[in-house]
Structure 1
Amino acid sequence: MARFEEVSVHGYDEFCQAVSERKGKDVFAYFSGDKDAEGKSWCPDCVKAEPIVRGQLAHLPEDSVFIYCQVGERAFWKDPKNDFKKNLKLTGVPSLLRYGTPQKLVEEECFKADLVRMMFTED
């Protein structure tokens, strides 16, 4: 039995809905470029980071939530006015954040298993 809940969403609105349905929970969100029909993201860093982040999920706190969010196509992501950049202040993908806190790992930081584990284990 998983100690945490995993939710997959696509786009900003689905992300906001997933968060609002889990108020009071410890929410960790991983943002990645959209995947194609073969399951490959347009974002090479996202492809590299995902197995590293997933490899650390066992360290998530009890009863927490892991939201896997696809941010959209490359052209949408590159728009500086997209909701992820405007409202969540994301600067790159992949990004891993502890929702509601300043804790955030961006791009190459997501390649470091020890940093990912620290985010999952430290308050």
Structure 2
Amino acid sequence: MAPFKEVSESDFEEFNQAVKEHQGKTIFAYFSGSKDAEGKSWCPDCVEAEPVVQEGLKHVTEDCVFIYCQVGDRSYWKDPK
């Protein structure tokens, strides 16, 4: 059994729903640029941070929930609108 529950969401509405579903638990949320078919985020800061986040998760207890939320692709975030 995993030491904590991990949930992956693909947008903010799904993230909000996951938070509601796990109300009362300690929630760790990680927002990242969406990943490509090879599993790599377009966001260089996210790529650099991911190993640090994964290392930190080694210390999370089973009563916690880790929500990984992809926030969209590069073109969406670079659009000035």
TM-score by length of 1: 0.60
Q: Give the partner amino acid of 2:7.
A: V
Larger relative contact order (CA 8 Å, sep ≥ 6): 2
CA contact (8 A) 2:25 2:64 kept: yes
The alignment yields a C-alpha RMSD, in angstroms, of 1.8
- Percent of aligned pairs sharing the same letter: 68
Q: Distance in 2 between matches of 1:19 and 1:72?
A: 19
TM-score by length of 2: 0.87
1:69-92 CA deviation, whole Å, 9 max, x = no partner?
Answer: 1001123234688xxxxxxxxxxx
Matches for 1:1-123 after TM superposition, within 5 Å:
1-78=1-78
Q: Distance in 2 between matches of 1:61 and 1:79?
A: 39
Flag structure 2 segments of 5+ consecutive residues without an equivalent. none
> Aligned to 2:35, what secondary structure does the other structure show?
coil
Flag structure 1 segments of 5+ consecutive residues without an equivalent. 82-123
Task: Give the paired residue count.
Answer: 81
